[in-house]
Amino acid sequence: MIFFVMIVWFVGEGNIRQVPIFLKEHQEATITFRNIDGVTKIVGLKGNGETNPTLVMRTGDFAYILTVINQDSVPHMLYVDGLVVHTKLIQPGENDTITLYSKEEGTYNYYDQQKGRNPIGVIKAVKVGTLID
């Protein structure tokens, strides 16, 4: 009986975690290429619901996992300038996932590699505790 009471006390004091404390943190977002009024745009589906959204990620070892879906009728390739990361060539109806990391704060343009280097939107890398404009 004493052993049972000790286990209840040990657990009740919060000494057992629900998840491992060494689990790497990450953030997930999903965006899609769409043709809106004859113009290729990015629409946020998960994490940000805007058109050509400003995506916000944390600096350091924090992973920003970005899924890109092509809901247009032509192929697209998302490229993030400065982080030098891109998706594969995404055919209509397909998707690709990329993982972004930034050691420093900064603002990085993203664009459709198939349409040239016209920025569609930006990704901001911020330190934890930094205010966002």
Q: What is the pTM of this model?
A: 0.76
Residue 4: inside a domain: no
pLDDT at 109 (0 to 100): 93
In a domain, 95, yes or no: yes
> In sequence order, what DSSP letters do the residues of 41-83 get, joined into one string?
EEEEEES--SBS--EEEESSS-EEEEEEEE-SSS-B-EEETTT
Model pLDDT, residue 2: 85
Residue 98 lies in a domain: yes
What pLDDT tens digit does each residue of the chain (133 aa) get? 887 777 776 666 655 555 554 556 788 889 999 998 988 889 988 877 788 888 999 898 888 999 999 999 999 999 998 888 999 999 999 999 999 999 899 999 999 988 877 888 999 999 876 455 5
Look at residue 16 in the predicted model and tell me its pLDDT. 59
Q: Is residue 17 part of a domain?
A: no
Would 35 be classed as within a structural domain?
yes
The residue range of the domain holding 49 is: 22-126
- DSSP β-bridge partners for residue 121: 110
Count of domains forming the chain: 1
Q: Domain holding 85: CATH number?
A: 2.60.40.420
Tokens of 121: 């939107």
Q: How far is CA 90 from the centre of its chain?
A: 18
Within the chain, how many helices (H) and strands (E) appear? 1, 9
Specify the pLDDT at position 25: 74
Q: Say if 5 falls within a structural domain.
A: no
* C-beta of residue 81 within 8 angstroms of C-beta of residue 108: yes
What pLDDT shows up at residue 80? 93
